[in-house]
Structure formats: structure tokens, C-alpha cells
Amino acid sequence: MNNTVRRIVAAGAAGMLLAGCTDATQNAAPTRPAMEIVNPPVVALTLERLHPLPNDITKSITLYQTGGSLDIPEAGFHLNIPRNTIGNDRITITVTAVAGNQVAYEFYPKGMQFKLDGIRMTQNLDSTSWVNNEGNTKIEGGYFKTRDDLDSSDGTALIYEFIPVSVIATGGRLHMNIKHFSGYVVATGRTTQNY
């Protein structure tokens, strides 16, 4: 077999191998999107409330290993803490819906981390700028460190981590898993602005 024929046979075998890999990849189970840590932080546009909150709204719940839930109906917010997420210690969790038009929340105690997949936040989208969206806006969660990272004048936030979300369009709800406490917004796009 001369060198030219060897090269053609080798190229054909490589092509079949790649085609086989492509088919295997296409048939594999889809991977779950992961949290994305960004360094340096990124400025993102935030989802806005159609009716701004006139004041902060703070709610608390004391939990054990049995779990529980917390609601801020005025903000369209629900938090579900599954059984055994916080371990065996009794703990008080506090959530503040930040006043103004940004869909932003602060969670306490800051720095608290959760087992398993974390706790689940649900945001009602009906009274936000997302309402009637036809899927043209990318929507994701964003972690901010302090209120200084929020800018209500231009509807942006400085984001250190992006969190994938699931949106149930027919029910107008967004679901996001939270693995640690601090501040979270719902982001509707990343800007090219740098900090």
C-alpha cells in the first residue's frame, strides 16, 4: 500500500470515528447548566418590577432539619427549604425584598451554605418586565455581594456568579436553586460595561 492510499484510509477511519463520537454525544443525556463564577465581576441588566416596592419587605422563619418555606407575596417571592438541607441545627433564615423596581433580594445569615442542590427560590414574573416575553430575553440568576452592587438608576447590578434558572412560561414563574446566602437578582442580559 503506497503512502497516498494509507493517508486516504487513515482519513476515512478518523472520519468514521468522529461521526461515531458525534452520534454518541447527540444521544447522551443533556447536562445540567452549572453556576458560572465571573472574575472580574460583570455588569448585568436586572429584571424590573412593574410596580416598584415602596420599602424593603423582610420576612423570617426559624427552621430545623424538617425544612420549611418562606413567602413574600407583595414581591411575588417564595423560598422552599427542603428537608435536611440545613443539617441538624436550628436556624433563622431572613429574606429581604429590596425596595425599588429591581427584582433583588438579600438573604441572611450571609455566607450560609446548603447541602445537596441547595434551596429553591421561585419568582412570580407576572408583575415584572418579563411578562408576555416570547423567549427573546435571556434570563438568569445573579449573585451580588452588597447593595452597593445594585444601581437602580440604570437597572443594573454587579454580578459575581450567574446561576441557571428554569422558567415556566405558562405559569409565569422562575425557579432558581441557591447554594449559599448573600444577595440575588434576576438578570435579563449581560452588558459590555466593566468594573
Return the DSSP state at 136. -
Summarised one tens digit per residue, pLDDT across range 23-82 is 333 343 333 457 788 899 999 999 999 999 999 999 999 988 788 999 999 999 999 998
Instruction: State the CATH class of domain 36-194.
Output: mainly beta
Q: What is the pLDDT of residue 31?
A: 38
Summarised one tens digit per residue, pLDDT across range 9-27 is 333 433 333 333 333 333 4
Which residues are CB-contacts of 176 (< 8 A; sequence separation ≥ 6)? Answer: 120, 121, 123, 141, 163, 164, 165, 166, 184, 186
Q: Of 162, 164, 130, nearest to 44 (Cα)?
A: 162
C-alpha–C-alpha distance, residues 28 and 40, integer Å: 34
Beta bridge partners of 173: 124, 168
The whole-chain average pLDDT of the chain stands at 81
Distance (Å) of CA 3 to CA 7, 14, 93: 6, 16, 71
Reported confidence tier of residue 194, pLDDT bands at 50, 70, 90? low
Average the pLDDT over 132-161 and give the result: 89
Q: What is the pLDDT of residue 114?
A: 81
Q: What is the pLDDT of residue 192?
A: 73
Average the pLDDT over 101-107 and give the result: 97
Distance (Å) of CA 171 to CA 75, 131, 189: 16, 11, 22
Q: What is the pLDDT of residue 130?
A: 87
φ/ψ of 30, rounded to 5, equals: -65, 145
Question: In this predicted model, which residue has the larger pLDDT, 144 or 25?
Answer: 144
Question: Is it the case that residue 104 has pLDDT exceeding 50?
Answer: yes
